[in-house]
Structure 1
Amino acid sequence: MSENGINLSDLKELFVKYYSESDHEIRIFTAPGRVNLIGEHIDYCGGSVFPAALTLSCTAAVRLNGTDWIRLGADDLEDVYTFSLRDPQAGKRLKWGNYQAGVINALLEEGYLIRGMDFLFTGNIPFGSGLSSSAAIELTTAVAAATLSENYEEKGLDLIRMAQLGQLAEHTFCGVNCGIMDQFASAMGKRDHAILLDCASLNYKYVPLALGDYTLVLANTCKKHALGASEYNKRREEVAEGLRRLNAALGENRANLCDFSEAEYAAAEARLGPDKVKDRVKHVIFENERVKRAVSALENGNLKAFGTILCEAHASIRDLYEVTGPELDTMFEIASHTDGCIGARMTGAGFGGCTVNIVRKESAEAFIRDVGRAYTQRTGIVPEFYLCTAGDGARELF
């Protein structure tokens, strides 16, 4: 019995080895990683983004334990990490498991009567790849803990709210002031579709990911993305300052940078200062417009235009937002000039991780071989590649 390449029978057997036998039922929950096709670093600026959930996922075996303790394990860890539901804030101090603890704490504050339970996590989302393994962990935890709560029949399971609680956990327990995109995509993914999400309103629509003769190839630089809280939050501070300056320059009081148009940016550009803040603002506003053009191109079946816009987006995130780094830029340069590839860009938070590439299906094998060889020659790093499709969102498997 398997799901997305994960053997669920083996997972249940391993769970019993970790936690022993019990009369309580072992249940299986899962949530996917995501690839953001376009719309990078604008989810926290009120922009529109275009992610797709992946078939790469985080999966957990979960069982009530009859206590008021949460126990957290993983198939690649020897230790089990615990905290008491009487003191969920103690979960912040866990050596491993603070994402899960943050979600449990958020559910408690939301009014869920969480019961003691044991988790055993597994997954096939490469850590540090920029494919949102953290959001997948958060949503797996949220759906499991809410479903097994004492008052589940009363509270129910609102997946958008689960995404928001995952985001809150990351803010409060992990120190990263992230946007909503990763958690939303993991919660609300739909097989063979991407999601056009307005991050200000959370209005969304599913768009068929109709690539025809092309497929998604994710190229992992194997430089783990090292965008820690300091660099990520620095960009947040810069765009907040940019919003203040742009409002002042135009006599406005708008809530988000993405409420401004390219024309309004051009009118105010000279008054935005000589420092990097102006570049950050330009990326955000123009990226938001690129998302709209890219989705329109995809819906109209113009895949070459879609790919060209992805390449434009990489140049912007590299030159104006400066969150790529030499490995990502090398991968992009090689991939975008390789036969069969019509579009490429970095995906995720940056400073390592993956590029997403639109590659002709018949060329995919050669693309992986040639790009991998050239990247290793130039960086000394052996990359990884994943042929991907869009998958479903967070759910209980059985």
Structure 2
Amino acid sequence: MKAGAPQGRIPGRVPSRPRTVPVQAEEPVQPAEPQRSESGRRVADAMAAVYGQRPQWVVRAPGRVNLIGEHTDYNDGFVLPMAIDRAVWIGLSPREDSHVRVHSLDFLQGIEFDLGALERGGPGWGEYIKAVAWSLQAAGHGLHGWDGVIFGDVPRGAGLSSSAALELASARAFAAASALAWDPPAMARLAQKAENEWVGVACGIMDQLTSACGRSDHALRIDCRSLDIDPVPLPPAASVLVLDTGTRRGLVTSAYNRRRQECRQGAEAFGLTSLRDLSPDTFERGEGRLEETIRRRVRHILTENARTLEASQALRGADVESVGRLMLASHASLRDDYEVSSPALDAMVEIAAAQPGCWGARMTGAGFGGCAVALVERAGAAEAGERIADEYRRRIGQVPAVYVCRAAQGASLS
């Protein structure tokens, strides 16, 4: 690791007081925990209270934060996420019939459905469980019913993949109750299919694959075409801060699906099925014939793939300064070319990047609100988080949530 940390700034003006939607924040800075086993005990105790029996299994599936490689996954590109130590937990016991009953500790409500008569409707969180059941059965898996209690501590709508965590926890629960072999990449693909075709969100594969295949203390360089996964160790001297702006966006109704369509238009303009196959030389020769918005969308995907590959190599070599520089460039591209940032995200990234001990920061997730991510010196991570929270609160007038995150293992069963 190179000595010293830059005090970078993101190019461009950042409004000083963006409009935000306040949410209830937790303690400003929360340190990572070795394993959130108290959540497992919580669902086990609740299972006994709700159903009169303790669970036969407890499953968990983590959320994720993407260090770099944004909006590249649905373009068959490269991403560099890590699973985080915030997760969705399900305590469950199998039934002898095809009935599924699940009680949510987060929403204080329950759902019931039969695997032989799946229908849309009911609470939004329950639709993800039904979606996974539908996808598994459509793939030919015979499923058994179960009773369960669910709880999650992945912030919803923050760009940390709470939906993918719910999908993989549900898949792990169905696999346990139905004695299915657990194949993480295959289950990730089925979870993606569930979200695409049942829920109606045209997400890529990154979120589900990271939740299924995460490795402790590693990021994952994922090739979203081949689904090859290359674990990249995180430098011991570095920590990852997740910076929740407190703003939220509706993914299904947002501009996310429009960005996908714009990328398809860009690929078609070059006679390609995917922007993954576009070379810099071909882009330079043909960009003049593209409509300006499409040109900027294509340029982001092209440069973001290059940044992601470079960042994974730098991270493997513990060159955190280079990783930080690439994160800052990624944010500028997402803000200016892909236009998925927001005033709150821009402010958070600028504040983080100016802190001593911060190598770089960027928005993470689909955008339009949610979280930023920063790479900071481990020795002063909590203090850096406090300073960022204080300055954001002073500038924006609202309290952010800041988490020191640990790279966690993927979906598991106990």
Report the TM-score when normalising by structure 1.
0.92
Alpha-carbon distance in structure 2 between the residues aligned to 1:207 and 1:355:
21
Q: Does 1:190 align with 2:219?
A: no
Residue 199 (structure 2) pairs with residue 174 (structure 1): yes
Matched, 1:227 2:251: yes
Q: Are 1:53 and 2:83 counterparts?
A: yes
Residues 291-300 or 10-19, more deviating: 10-19
Is the 8 Å Cα contact of residues 63 and 165 (structure 2) preserved in structure 1?
Answer: yes
Q: Which runs of 5+ in 1 are unaligned?
A: 248-253
Q: Spell out, residue by residue over 1:173-194, the C-alpha distance to the aligned partner (whole angstroms, 9 max, x if none).
A: 2111000000000000111111
Q: Which residue matches 1:161?
A: 186
Q: What is the CA-CA distance between 1:93 and the residue it aligns to? A: 4.5
Paired residue for 1:251?
A: none
SS at match of 2:326: helix
> 1:33 maps to which residue?
63
Query: How much identity, in percent, do the aligned residues show?
Result: 37
Residues 226 and 338 of structure 1, relative CA distance in 2, 3 Å threshold? farther
Written as runs of structure 1 = structure 2, the 5 A alignment for 1:1-398 is 3-4=35-36, 6-21=38-53, 26-88=56-118, 90-149=119-178, 152=179, 156-210=181-235, 212-247=236-271, 254-274=272-292, 276-397=293-414
Aligned-partner SS, 1:387: strand
Retained in 2: the 8 A contact 1:85–1:116?
A: yes
- Alignment check: 8 A CA contact 2:102 2:111 kept: yes
Name the amino acid aligned to 1:43: D
Q: What's the CA shift for 1:94?
A: 4.1
Verify the 8 A CA contact 2:39 2:89 in the aligned structure 1: no
Secondary structure (helix, strand or coil) at the match of 1:201 reads coil
In structure 2, distance between residues paired with 1:240 and 1:31: 31
Given the two structures, how large is their TM-score scaled by the length of structure 2? 0.88
Kept in 2: contact 1:129–1:353 (CA 8 A): yes
Determine helix, strand or coil for the equivalent of 1:148: helix
**Residue-by-residue CA offset, 1:137-156 (whole Å, 9 max, x unaligned):** 1001101102211xx3xx52
Unaligned runs of 5+ in 2: 1-33
Residues 95/281 of structure 1: CA separation in 2 closer, same or farther (3 Å cut): closer
Contact 1:227 1:350 in 2 (8 A): no
Q: How many angstroms apart in 2 are the aligned matches of 1:10 and 1:176?
A: 31
TM-align CA RMSD: 1.6
Q: What's the offset of the Cα at 1:73?
A: 1.6
Question: Aligned-pair distance for 1:56?
Answer: 1.1
Cα contact 1:107–1:146 (8 A) shared by 2 = no
8 A contact 1:339–1:363 mirrored in 2: no
* Partner SS, residue 371 of structure 1: helix
Q: Quickly say closer, same or farther: Cα 1:91–1:19, change in 2 above 3 A.
A: farther
CA contact (8 A) 1:92 1:102 kept: no
Distance 1:6 1:126, change over 3 A: farther
Q: Is 1:92–1:173's contact at 8 Å kept on the other side of the alignment?
A: no
Give a deviation string over 1:314-360, Cα, whole Å, max 9, x none. 00011111111111111011111111111100111111111110111
**Stretches of 4+ moved more than 6 A in 1?**
none
Greater alpha carbon shift after TM alignment, 303-312 vs 62-71? 62-71
Q: Quick check: 328-337 or 375-384, which moved more?
A: 375-384
| Shift, 1:300, TM fit | 2.2
Partner amino acid for 1:271? R
Cα deviations by residue, 1:17-75 (Å, 9 ceiling, x for unpaired) = 222338xx521001111111110001000101111111111111011233322112211
Stretch moving more, 140-149 or 162-171: 140-149
- In the alignment of these two chains, the number of paired residues is 381
Cα distance in 2 for partners of 1:128, 1:311 equals: 23
Which stretch of structure 1 is more off in the superposition, 383-392 or 364-373? 364-373
- Further displaced range: 13-22 or 263-272: 13-22
Give the CA deviation at 1:96: 3.5
> 1:95, CA displacement in angstroms?
4.5
Distance 1:57 1:95, change over 3 A: closer
SS class of match (1:205): strand
Q: What is the identity, as a one-letter code, of the residue corresponding to 1:267?
A: R
- Over 3 Å counting, the alpha-carbon distance change for 1:116 and 1:209 in structure 2 is same
**CA separation of 1:230 and 1:327: change in aligned 2, threshold 3 A:** closer
1:230 Cα deviation (Å)? 4.2
Partner of 1:250 in structure 2? none
Partners of 2:312 and 2:351 lie apart in 1 by: 25
